[in-house]
Amino acid sequence: MKIEDALTLLVDQATQDHGGASRCAMFLLSLWDGGTYKADLQDLLYNDQKVFMAMLTVMQIFYENNEQLDSYVTQKQMGPIIAAWGKQFRTETE
């Protein structure tokens, strides 16, 4: 799977209204700003195989190429995901 295809799938899924959407959003938000949004790795294991493989592809390519999410996904694309899911996955601050 190509990185662009993997991210297109994940962004599309994160903007839907189903159980897997929240897991895709959590994954993307954590990659977008890991200091603000945290991912529960155990919860990510409950994705269907295609989505899970897309997540693994993203992690592998980012690791191998020392890249970040903002190299592929824009603020405009993340805006709806942040609006829909940001509060749910925001870390607690004192």
Sign of the alpha-carbon torsion through 79, 17, 10, 45: positive
Domain ranges of the chain: 3-87
Q: Is the pLDDT of residue 93 over 80?
A: no
Look up residue 89 and give its two tokens. 């996955």
Instruction: Supply the pLDDT for residue 94.
Output: 45
Whole-Å CA distances, 47 to 11, 22, 23, 30, 56: 14, 10, 7, 16, 12
Is residue 22 within 8 Å of residue 39, measured between CB atoms? no
Instruction: Supply the pLDDT for residue 26.
Output: 96
**Alpha helix segments (H runs only) across the chain:** 3-14, 19-32, 41-44, 49-65, 75-89
Residue with tokens 């592998």: 60
Tens-place pLDDT, residues 10-61:
999 999 988 889 999 999 999 999 999 999 999 999 999 999 999 999 999 9
Instruction: Supply the pLDDT for residue 17.
Output: 83
90 forms bridges with which residues in the sheet? 37
